[in-house]
Structure 1
């Protein structure tokens, strides 16, 4: 390891991931001239699912032979990791008053600017790849100062989303900063087409935006890899099992789910439900199950490390999502598909981009509990349909939505940016 990398890896806010012997066995090394040094900057707290997304992209870039230096406030978790204690910043985020935390986010740019400048001087990256965060403008400013292209990954338009779902004290400033950060990036990657159109509507040139949906590792999310019949008995599950994985919050329709349970149990009393995750409506849903006598047929695991998710999804016969927001790319849909499961999902625009009704899943009107229950009962009574949808879903997602493909697209965008810059410089000298 070079001295500059040794120095960087000693930083508590910096983690290094670089292609190693394991990858060199599985992938042919690219010529030295094609290796790209990528500085990956994020401001997450090392928590799922953000951490899983980051680590998956870093691994995929490394597998292609590129060098990646990760700079962020907390270590990121591998998908096989068993979780860790929340970071200091994560605990502050949960405890601090909202206005104070927004001011802290603004002030954190001073720390970010210092860290990124140090990393750029020592690592000498060809590209800065940044995961967008609210009020986080240091990345685009530092990259511009050193003349390095910056690709900005936008998973959520935070100034708009947080104002809608949580409220923002500094709403006007957040919107103003968000637009200038987006305009300052060399290129933007969004996770859905609908989000791309949203940014175009905000005034971002469409040629500066690409879509790169969420994805899966087909080897990790493989139904044959995670078969564990003893786990079903341990949890008290009896087939058919209807399952949900994720954050049990308001935009996923969890407050309306008791109506689904009542309707399904009335027609299929043999069914069981498995909820993997936690959130603002988990306790109220659990209370309903107890008060209405469903508790022996509904299992709540609460939040689980990502390493435990595939074996739990493997137990499910039918996977569900009652509702979703209008712009985000729900990771659970890709993971359900990769595990070969029949899916019932809402017909919101991001889901429509990846799931085809009657082919790779069944669609319902967003939040329609009657339609959700009807489709669940339909799948319970038709195992052949479940099998066909599950196989088609896995075939689709492993062909079109893998982290390997996303990494290739990132490098391709960087190459296009480099060519465009070279062409401009050549034209200016003529």
Structure 2
């Protein structure tokens, strides 16, 4: 199938949304489809230091990336949406899959079968986004709406009166790391200590507050923090009073598996309120599907995670993870002590997490599941109308 993926993410950047986009395009291509990714021509904060975008995200060069105009002027989102619509008209795909509602609304009205994915209530993003979403829903070729959790599906069904059959729930995913021959040598790691790791951003609600409370009370364990913006790292270094916390900073996607392999236990200490990258106000805590959860599972690592309803959609206490109250540091200390003392339990938890990952949470499985669900009630071979008829 000839497929266009339409996004609004800055590529390259460290934002999770850009990682998601690149991994999904790779997965769709691995499933045998011809994929063209359309992205805005925006200057990312890391663009000048990235020689190869595909290497930056550790994805194969098996799909095409095209950048489209998105000038820094008022109304640039509409300019980019129209540019994307014209690009789609030239490519004439069998399907448009997107995370950019402006462009997806246009392609659905142009007659191109369109699947739209969103990871938060769209009315919380802004009035314009909400308006385009309503336009999209009335588009003649709108196929399915994809969300990342059952919790988010429930929100849309309640707030937008959407039918369950319109919505596909597809949790996030991870690549299969395969066999990692050479785990990373973790700086600051003591040979006799349990190596505990956190991978991800450090902004509000991601859980560094838990590590800051737990680490000083467990000096016999080493805590490794992978990721985070430089300003956030500097702030947490001042706030954390513990020599056993090591900040490694940003790690390239291609190197993450080596670091993950060197860890004994992985932490997912999400709080009930979680900020969004680039926005301190939005809260995704009720419905998020953290990428790092699936990366932990892919490596077969024992996970200690916050006991939150949205995480329980994937994790089961005592089966593939240990779940703790996100607001009670004593529970996290107890869980870490138990895993430190019981290597066989660490092994059992990690092996079950790996089995669950293999069964449901690879990127390729996610892409296939979405397209299968959409095609069961749609026809991707419909003939799109001419763009001149649709948007002139």
User: Counterpart of 1:139?
Assistant: 104
Which one of 187, 197, 203 corresponds to residue 144 of structure 2? 187
In structure 2, the residue matched to 1:37 is 2
Matched, 1:379 2:339: yes
What is the DSSP-based 3-state SS (H/G/I as helix, E as strand, rest coil) of the residue aligned with 2:156? helix
Find the counterpart in structure 2 of residue 123 from structure 1: 91
Which 10-residue stretch deviates more, 194-203 or 67-76?
67-76
Q: What secondary structure is seen at the aligned counterpart in 2 of 1:372? A: helix
Provide the residue aligned with 2:120 in structure 1. 156
Distance 2:227 2:323 in 1: 22
Cα distance in 2, alignment partners of residues 416 and 148 from structure 1: 17
Deviation readout 1:143-193 (Å, 9 max, x if unpaired): 312x11110011233542x5xxxxxxxx55554544554565421011111
- State the partner residue of 1:225: 180
Q: Secondary structure at the match of 2:270?
A: coil
- Is contact 2:6-2:103 (8 Å) kept? no
- Hey, what's the Cα distance between the residues in 2 that align with 1:421 and 1:206? 24
Match of 2:217 among 256, 259, 263: 263
2 CA distance for matches of 1:209 and 1:384? Answer: 40
CA distance in 1, matches of 2:380, 2:40: 33
Tell me if structure 1 keeps the 8 A contact 2:168–2:370. Answer: no
Using a 3 Å threshold, how does the CA distance of structure 1 residues 381 and 66 change in structure 2: closer, same or farther? same
| Residue equivalent to 1:56 | 23
Which structure carries more relative contact order (alpha carbon 8 Å, separation 6+)?
2
Structure 2 unaligned residues grouped into runs of 5+ = 42-51, 60-66, 272-284, 383-392
CA–CA distance in 1 between the matches of 2:204 and 2:258? 26
The aligned counterpart of 1:84 is none
- Residue pair 1:188, 1:210 contacting (<8 A) in 2 also: yes
Residues 373 and 283 of structure 1: is their aligned pair in 2 closer, same or farther, counting only changes over 3 Å?
Answer: farther
**How has the CA–CA distance of structure 1 residues 208 and 80 changed in structure 2, closer, same or farther, with 3 Å as cutoff?**
same
- Which position in structure 2 is the counterpart of 1:363? 323
Change (3 A) 1:183 1:245: farther
Q: Residues of 2 paired with 1:50 and 1:172: CA distance?
A: 21
CA RMSD of aligned residues (A): 2.8
Query: Are residues 148 and 248 of structure 1, via their aligned partners in 2, closer, same or farther at CA, if it must alter by over 3 Å?
Result: same
Structure 2 match to 1:412: 372
1:137 CA displacement:
1.8
Cα distance in 2, alignment partners of residues 275 and 123 from structure 1 = 43
Q: Which whole-Å deviations, capped at 9, do the CAs of 1:103-159 have from their partners, x for residues lacking one? A: 84x432223212322x22322111110014xxx4232123312x1111001123354
Q: Which structure dedicates a bigger proportion of its chain to helix? A: 1
| Superposed CA offset, 1:175-220 (max 9, x none) | 45445545654210111111111111121222110111111222xx
| Residues paired across the two proteins, number | 343
What SS does structure 2 have at the residue aligned with 1:186?
strand
1:298 to 245, 249, 254: 245
Pairwise CA distance, 1:378: 1.4
Q: Contact 1:244/1:320 (CA < 8 Å) preserved in 2? A: yes
SS class of match (1:139): helix
- Call closer, same or farther: CA 1:41–1:172 in 2, change over 3 Å: closer
1:252 aligned residue: 206
TM-score by length of 1: 0.73
Q: Which residue of 1 aligns with 2:37?
A: 70
Asked if the contact 1:127/1:414 (under 8 Å) is kept, the reply is no
Contact 1:113 1:142 in 2 (8 A): no
SS at match of 1:217: coil
List alignment gaps of at least 5 residues for structure 1: 1-35, 82-87, 93-100, 163-170, 423-430
> Partner residue of 1:288?
239
Q: Distance in 2 between matches of 1:313 and 1:63?
A: 24
- Please give the per-residue CA displacement for 1:295-349, whole angstroms capped at 9, x wherever unaligned: 3x22101122211211111111111021241111011111111111110001222
* d(CA) in 2 for partners of 1:183, 1:385: 52
- Equivalent residues of 2:81, 2:102 under 8 A apart: no
Distance 2:154 2:267 in 1: 27
1:201 is aligned, of 151, 158, 166, to: 158
Matched residue, 1:397: 357
1:5 aligned partner: none
Equivalent-residue separation in structure 2 for 1:177 and 1:143 (angstroms): 11
Q: With structure 2 as the length reference, what TM-score do the two structures score?
A: 0.79
Partner of 1:275: 225
